[in-house]
Amino acid sequence: MSFQPLNGVRVLDLTSVVVGPVCTWRLGQYGAEIVKIESPDGDLMRGLGGQSPTGQHSGTYLHLNRGKRNICLNLKQGSARAIAAQLVASADVIVANMRPQALARLGLDAATIRAKHPEKIYCLITGYGTDGPYAGRPTYDSVVQAATGMAGLMQARDGEPAYMPMLICDHVAGEIAAGAILSALMAQRATGQGASLEVPMFETMAAFVLQEHLAQHSFDPPVGPPGDQRLLSPHNKPVRTADGWISFTVNTDPQVRAFLKATDRQHLLGDPRFASVAERARHVKEWFEVRGAPLTSRSTAEWLELLQGADIAVQPCHTLESLPKDPHLTAVGLIDYEQHPQEGRIASIRSSIRVDDAYLPRGESARAIGADTSTLLRELGYGDDAIDALLASGAAQTPSPV
């Protein structure tokens, strides 16, 4: 039997772009039914995430919206808002990442919904929360990276700030929101009570940064500069080989000794600066200069064989082109291919979670805008004439021809 602990739980998805869709995708992985409301303009990530054959489903959109039913509503119209209210009543969980002011105007904010339905779980993912001086401001992942000091970490290491070239804040906050919802569902099942959850990206990622980099400033008075000096070392980067790059880490005393022997640096085995974890922490600058020095005397393949033989954590540095071809990922089948009804043959990335020797199901391909509009309206009790009227008025929409 497949692992579907949220089977029977309906999640109303009022999210777009990345952070919210990550959250609801994760809940869908655990068996929840996800009903995604999109406006006629569609989720911004349909186009923002890159090119596609039809221009309707970017790769990012496809991967983050698998397994979700899709209803297209123009919430500027009262009849569409009435449908949304029915969907709220049918749901166990509501997830939103719209601005609180916009949600309130539509009657889809936590206060309005839980006043009518105290048993519901409502999760709002925001940029800066609903109180404090930044509340209500718009934000995106890169802005949060800068505001939380993540880009500044790159400046401390490399001399100028830089963004991590992936939407790491969106992914982290979305996964944390999914975890909070799971906890609230456990409480709901035990007590019958709902909850209003809020996950602010700024505070969430600031906590992530400070958990590692408050460091010596974790003490009052501080015992040294802020920041994990190992991670901030300009030498904490992949190491060049004769024909490419490798990445390795050595932390324990046995690992360090094995590394020094494997790289023909036996003369450093007796150096007191590198003899223990504590001494390497005191002399972190010098140690990382040793650890990060080029290894151009051998090829990448030769270094991988040598360092793996010494039981050192080491891997080649993949590119975006080579990563999908990694032999381990190929062997475990992380990526497969399937036929999408609009976009043709597409890559499908399965869940990395395995339960009782089986991976969680991939879920059906991401749907076109309004793919399930008519079906969901019928489930809510609308007849064919009423559906036709809603479609004619533009309050609801079914897929446009490709």
Instruction: Return the CA Rg of the chain.
Output: 25
Task: Tell me the pLDDT tens digit for each residue of 8-52.
Answer: 999 999 999 999 999 999 999 999 999 999 999 999 999 999 999
pLDDT at position 402: 55
pLDDT per position as a tens digit, 97-130: 999 999 999 999 999 999 999 999 999 999 999 9
User: DSSP per residue over 88-141, as a string?
Assistant: HHH-SEEEE-S-HHHHHHTT-SHHHHHHH-TT-EEEEEESS-SSSTTTT----H
Give the contacts of 181 (CB within 8 A, at least 6 positions apart). 23, 27, 93, 95, 121, 123, 197
Q: Which two tokens stand for residue 315?
A: 């891997």
Q: 1 pLDDT band (50/70/90 cuts)?
A: low
Mean pLDDT of 337-349: 96
400 versus 233: the higher-pLDDT residue is 233
pLDDT band at residue 153 under the 50/70/90 scheme: very high
Question: How many C-beta atoms lie closer than 10 Å to residue 225's C-beta?
Answer: 11
- 228 has a pLDDT exceeding 60: yes
Instruction: Confirm if 231 and 162 have CB atoms less than 8 A apart.
Output: no
DSSP element (H, E) containing 303: helix 300-309
Q: Which string of DSSP letters, residue by residue, matches 201-247?
A: HHHHHHHHHHHHHSGGGGSSS-SS-SS-TTTT-TT-S-EEBSSSEEE
Q: Token pair for residue 278?
A: 């504590």
Strands 245-249 and 239-240: antiparallel
Cis peptide before 133 (omega within 30 of 0): no
Task: Please report, for the chain, the start and end positions of each structural domain, with discontinuous segments joined by +.
Answer: 10-208+331-397, 239-316
Give yes or no for a contact between 382 and 69, defined as CB atoms under 8 angstroms apart. no
Query: Mean pLDDT across the stretch 291-306?
Result: 96
Residue range 308-313: mean pLDDT, rounded: 96
- Which CATH entry fits the domain spanning 10-208+331-397: 3.40.50.720, 1.20.1250.20, 3.40.50.10540, 3.40.1160.10? 3.40.50.10540
Q: What is the reported pTM?
A: 0.94
Nearest partner of 184 among 121, 129, 114, 125, judged by Cα: 121
Q: What is the pLDDT of residue 2?
A: 80
Share of the chain above pLDDT 70, in %: 99
Q: For position 400, what pLDDT does the model report?
A: 78
Q: What are the pLDDT digits (tens) for 165-223?
A: 999 999 999 999 999 999 999 999 999 999 999 999 999 999 999 999 999 999 999 99
**CA nearest neighbour of 357 among 3, 29, 66:** 3
At residue 11, φ and ψ (nearest 5 deg) are -115, 125
| pLDDT band, very low/low/confident/very high, at 401 (cuts 50, 70, 90) | low
pLDDT of 69 over the 60 cut: yes
Q: What mean pLDDT value characterizes the chain?
A: 96
pLDDT value at position 311? 95
CB 372 within 8 A of CB 86: no
The architecture of the domain spanning 239-316 is 2-Layer Sandwich (3.30)
Question: Residue 305's pLDDT band (boundaries 50, 70, 90)?
Answer: very high
Does 154 score more than 70 pLDDT? yes
